[in-house]
Structure 1
Amino acid sequence: MPSSGDVRAVKASPRADSQIRVEAVPPRKGATPHQVIEGFLEAMTSDDAKFATARAYLTKDMAKKWRPELGTTVLAEAPESGPGREGGDSDPGVDYPLIGKKVAQVDKERAYKAVTPEDYRQLIHLTRQKGRDGTEWRIDRLPQGLILGAADFQRNYQPVNKYYFAVGRSTVVADPIFIRQRLDPVTLVDPVTQSVRALLEGPTEWLEPVVESPFPKGTRLKDDTSLGFDDRNTLEVPLNEKANGVSRAQCDKMAAQILFTLKDLSSSRVDQVELQRANGGMLCSLSSGQEEVYAPGHDSQRAGTQSQYVVDGKNSLAVLPKSGQGRPTAVPGPLGGGGLPLGQIAVAHDEDTAAAVTKDGRELLVSPIDTEGAATPLVRSRGTDRADRLSAPSWDGSGDLWVADRDPLHGGLLRFAQGGGEPLPVAIVPDLGGARIESLRLSADGARIALLLTRDGRTTLQIGRVERRGPVDDPVVTVAALRPAAPQMETVTAVSWAGPSRLVVVGKEAGEVQQIRYIQTDGSSSAASVLPGLNSVKAVAASEDERQPLVAHSGGEGIVRLPSGANWQKVVTEGSSPVYPG
């Protein structure tokens, strides 16, 4: 450091933009058909307003018809154009195939749907038209929507969870979509406004049967406005006349939906949401944090007090030390007494009750955790082999207990209302077509279920809706509309919910080693979602509270933990079936 001399001003370096931007370049004079296609594909990846530069590569008629907002086809790599083929005398134009490997489709609702990687091939047709510089090649036929490589898609779009209420309950359910990272080129609005508009448009088609919105039908932003914050970080949301007559309780739920939805936007900090009538008067306001009363299991999650449970070396239900150091402690109830050899366990969200399948897989037991007495048997499987008996149980956010009896002759998906009583069969629509349920996990909101299904030696991860119809106290429950959540994986070994719309999955892709990674319920993921490696993982557990560490059972290490920002740490050598409440 200098010890003498004058003090002189130094110009600060300009702040770098953390995101790469692609500037669209218009077609140059005399461009060949191949150059026109390459320029158009590049222009689709830009933030150009209304995609004006991309439209410059189209004929005037096609420029009016092309609608990029109808959806996005996501390819593993940027699309490539194959060799052109001239049409002949009857067609003076030229066809160019767009080829790639399709991995996902985003629909007009902004919902992402992962697919098993498949070959993509679509034709783009070019023709000559008169321009200001003479005759020029332009595109006159092409697929609607955008065609992007996965890297460009991740650069331009970000995932956001919209939130709606589970039908008949004051618990929010996440509905994942993708919005533009910056201004939307079509609507020219920012991510906050995009998210609120998408929320007001209602849930995506897949989730709609199991959720509802307190926003009155037809509620939209007043005058199609763009939203902004005042100097108190309050987001003022002017609504049209459809919302004028809502009650205070209904309005609080509406504001809570917005607060939950905007949590995922790192670019915005919302301290309060203020909903306004069409005339500018205030409907209600809700401060950040007040929305948490509608979160699934909000009491334990807010305090970060959820415990981690395992089956210890004595085949009993035990709780791990919160410090991550020391041996697990057996719970005082009958499941922790050591007299019942347990195999797999599940603890209710309130942590007052636990369920366990015996080590031989034959019987499902339920018992209070802290009360002495006898465990209550709920069901007994007649399966011949261990693999054909009961799966690990799981609790939903309503207090119901679920298990799969894998007996091919007498089995099925079973539910026990409030964790007891007679087993209630749950139909899966359409049926599984011979696939076997290996394991199941219910979301904390109770509206979705994750199933590991085995067919022809391959185990896949499917997400289904949990539909409840009829009386609230005695509903008919059905699992419907299963869809793949990890189609890129050849086989999946274990799964756990790890947030409102996130799963932690253990599995491997074709020809690869076993991985542990985060995957969204819509099947989307990123390279950053892959977690540190761990050998021979048999089970994994994550909390709905994303601040809590992962817990896993490794065949080589025993019970291990993964705290945030660290590597796997051994907790105890003997133990199995790690779980968080649920």
Structure 2
Amino acid sequence: MLAACGALLAGCASMPDEGNMKKVDASQRPDSQSQVRVYAMPPPEDAGAVDIVQGFLEALTSDDPDFAIARKYLTKKASDNWHPERSTTVLADGPNTVADNVGNDNEGERTYALTGRRLATVNEQRAYKPDAGAYRQAVHLTQQNGPNGRVWRIDAPPPGVVIGESDFERNYQAVNKYYFASPPKGLGTARQVGRQQGLVADPIFVRQRIDPLTETVKALLGGPTNWLRQVVRTAVPEGARLAPDTKSLTPDDKNKLVVPLNARADTLGHDRCTEMAAQLLFTLQDLTASGVEQVELQRTNGSQLCVLSKDRAETVAPHRTADLPAYQYFVDGAKKRLVRMPGNTGSNAAPEPVTGPFGEGEQPLRSAAVSRDEERGAGVSLDGRRLYTASLVSKGSLGGPELRSRSKSESDGFSTPSWDVRGDLWVADRDPKRPRLLWLAEGTGEPVQVNVPGLDGSIKAVRVAADGVRVALLVEKGGKTSLRIGRIDWADGKGGQPDISIVELLEAAPQMEEVTAMSWAGVSRLVVVGRESGGVQQMRYVQSDGSARTGATLPGLTGVKEIAASEDERQPLVAHSDDGIVRLPSGAQWQTVVKDGAKPVYPG
């Protein structure tokens, strides 16, 4: 049945070799989301030129290792020069095949164009990047001698793989590789102790039915993607790869995975070896049900370098850089003070004021943020022009503001602040005449203005990820707001202060015309509130690399103004909506906490 299915797919379209331009849809099948394996079929001997093009495109969507069948549609020289592993182009509405040979009367030659609306590209490092635009690529065919006469073959194929969005979602699986965060430059050594071992997620895509475990291990050993490379480190020695004779990796009956390495890893020390094993273990945990409980690294002669279990891996490299939050927080509607409620989903305890001046209502607040250790808070005054910090564990009076904004309008001023993993504070001053992104060491002292080269618009909101490496920004331009993810680069500055930049901004929700609220909701995932072009407001999860996920939309909620999530994905979402402050426990529906409140936040 499967072979018959493959034959049907390979021959599902035809088009005359001559005449006016027509269009053939290559991969828009109603069952493309199913998990039925698709087997490519080799070209029939009597296939016309367009059937060869169509068969080649269908072979690209199959579960064929190394694209061996797709190569049968190419000439020998074209096959030798074609490298499908180097790039994948994802199209929304294609690839479509259009006759491009009008006026071309050369005997034994045909030219067609592959067209479509490009959504993204996946590079040789398997990194996804949104890349919207029109796609058009010429494909040239020639006739050559076959066993039973002349046959058509492609001698100029498209570079890499070209595939429709639905087939990409069926064939490819998202995986997070893990690397260690590099210590930022320009900070004192003492402030970095205890945080250098945190792991940073590096999202990639692998073909989900073509030995994804082995391919993921290879990708991890190959090093971080270019976007992340400058701010992370790896325990993998330079040039270390799988042993040359290793074809496939499979856990044994005790879920232990043995990873034989080449000679570049033979002299690896024990501490660094266990770090490398921890990277592998956490990476494979994100590979759905890999089942790996233990990793053993081996030298080229088969002797053991080190072995590490999943239970011990957390002591080598903390997987979750954010501590499990004890509370969720918001600003109450009556006294504009900061209140908290237990983080436990099943708790029915009423919200209570936090300890300290923010809980006493001494200064009415518009928004607030809580440090990741839940010991300090930062609050923005009701008019948005003053930023304060205070203890959340001891009582005392509120001192003077740490910062002042010159904004004339109460709708501008400071954004909701964000604490990073080192206890430093980030905030955007949205004064139209002097917009700035500011960083305060430990929430106090002289602010540092953060450089954002390439920023096209003004920053309306900022959220620093728990890994301390990435930052999410809401950027407004022309009345529309989009979500951007930037990398935090550190350098030695003047006067003992670091020089900080947010660089290489990526669009993280390209499918949304406007994003109005967002929060980190995992190691490389965010929850956003917004709308698509012509659509209504929705909440959905998006990935930091801008890739979409099937079924990522959340249950509906009316009039959502703010959203808060924990980087620990087990914690419930909290939102401010027309129904007040509401909470979404896992597997349940939205539940109202209080009718009057605003600006819900988790620590961070």
TM-score normalised by L of structure 1: 0.91
> Quick one: structure 1 residues 455 and 91, their matched pair in 2 at CA, closer, same or farther if it must change by over 3 Å?
farther
Q: CA deviation at 1:408?
A: 3.1
State the alpha-carbon separation in 1 of the partners of residues 226 and 322 from structure 2: 31
State the alpha-carbon separation in 1 of the partners of residues 551 and 225 from structure 2: 26
Contact map agreement 2:256 2:295 (CA 8 A) in 1: yes
In the alignment, does 2:53 pair up with 1:37? yes
In the alignment, does 2:124 pair up with 1:108? yes
- For 1:180, the equivalent position in structure 2 comes to 207
- For 1:77, the equivalent position in structure 2 comes to 93
- What is the alpha-carbon root mean square deviation over aligned residues? 2.0
Which amino acid letter does the alignment assign opposite residue 147 of structure 2? R
- For 1:415, the equivalent position in structure 2 comes to 439
In the alignment, does 2:49 pair up with 1:28? no
Q: CA deviation at 1:137?
A: 1.8
In the alignment, does 2:84 pair up with 1:57? no
- For 1:143, the equivalent position in structure 2 comes to 158
> Quick one: structure 1 residues 336 and 91, their matched pair in 2 at CA, closer, same or farther if it must change by over 3 Å?
farther
Q: Can you list the C-alpha shifts for 1:432-472, whole angstroms capped at 9, x where unaligned?
A: 24x1101010000110000000011111111000012239x
Which amino acid letter does the alignment assign opposite residue 410 of structure 1? R
Contact map agreement 1:515 1:531 (CA 8 A) in 2: yes
- For 1:469, the equivalent position in structure 2 comes to 491
Q: CA deviation at 1:122?
A: 1.5
- For 1:280, the equivalent position in structure 2 comes to 302
State the alpha-carbon separation in 1 of the partners of residues 500 and 473 from structure 2: 16
State the alpha-carbon separation in 2 of the partners of residues 341 and 75 from structure 1: 50
In the alignment, does 2:263 pair up with 1:241? yes
- For 2:237, the equivalent position in structure 1 comes to 216
State the alpha-carbon separation in 2 of the partners of residues 378 and 499 from structure 1: 30
Q: CA deviation at 1:419?
A: 2.0
SS in 2 for 1:23: coil
> Quick one: structure 1 residues 91 and 523, their matched pair in 2 at CA, closer, same or farther if it must change by over 3 Å?
farther
- Structure 1 portions without partners, runs of 5+: 1-16, 184-189
> Quick one: structure 1 residues 89 and 80, their matched pair in 2 at CA, closer, same or farther if it must change by over 3 Å?
closer
State the alpha-carbon separation in 1 of the partners of residues 76 and 593 from structure 2: 66
- For 1:426, the equivalent position in structure 2 comes to 450
Pairs aligned (count): 553
Q: Aligned to 1:201, which of 200, 222, 226? A: 222
- For 2:112, the equivalent position in structure 1 comes to 96
Q: Aligned to 2:338, which of 317, 326, 329? A: 317
Q: CA deviation at 1:92?
A: 4.6
- For 1:170, the equivalent position in structure 2 comes to 197
State the alpha-carbon separation in 2 of the partners of residues 49 and 201 from structure 1: 20
Q: Can you list the C-alpha shifts for 1:539-566, whole angstroms capped at 9, x where unaligned?
A: 1111111111111111x11111111122
Contact map agreement 2:320 2:568 (CA 8 A) in 1: no
- For 1:9, the equivalent position in structure 2 comes to none
Q: Aligned to 1:406, which of 417, 420, 430? A: 430
Q: Can you list the C-alpha shifts for 1:352-374, whole angstroms capped at 9, x where unaligned?
A: 11111112111111111121012
Contact map agreement 2:242 2:261 (CA 8 A) in 1: yes
Which amino acid letter does the alignment assign opposite residue 259 of structure 2? V
Which amino acid letter does the alignment assign opposite residue 136 of structure 2? R
> Quick one: structure 1 residues 114 and 62, their matched pair in 2 at CA, closer, same or farther if it must change by over 3 Å?
same
> Quick one: structure 1 residues 256 and 462, their matched pair in 2 at CA, closer, same or farther if it must change by over 3 Å?
same
Which amino acid letter does the alignment assign opposite residue 568 of structure 1? W
In the alignment, does 2:458 pair up with 1:436? yes
Tell me whether 375-384 or 543-552 shows the greater mean CA deviation. 375-384
Contact map agreement 2:94 2:115 (CA 8 A) in 1: no
> Quick one: structure 1 residues 298 and 55, their matched pair in 2 at CA, closer, same or farther if it must change by over 3 Å?
closer
Q: Aligned to 1:526, which of 549, 557, 561? A: 549
TM-score normalised by L of structure 2: 0.88
Contact map agreement 1:324 1:571 (CA 8 A) in 2: no
Q: Aligned to 1:456, which of 465, 470, 478? A: 478
State the alpha-carbon separation in 2 of the partners of residues 291 and 579 from structure 1: 30
Q: CA deviation at 1:474?
A: 4.9
Q: Aligned to 1:307, which of 283, 305, 327? A: 327
Contact map agreement 2:322 2:421 (CA 8 A) in 1: no
State the alpha-carbon separation in 2 of the partners of residues 224 and 267 from structure 1: 26
- For 2:565, the equivalent position in structure 1 comes to 542
Q: Can you list the C-alpha shifts for 1:145-193, whole angstroms capped at 9, x where unaligned?
A: 111111111111100001111112211110000011122xxxxxx2111
- For 1:482, the equivalent position in structure 2 comes to 505
- For 1:14, the equivalent position in structure 2 comes to none
> Quick one: structure 1 residues 150 and 465, their matched pair in 2 at CA, closer, same or farther if it must change by over 3 Å?
same
Q: CA deviation at 1:519?
A: 0.6
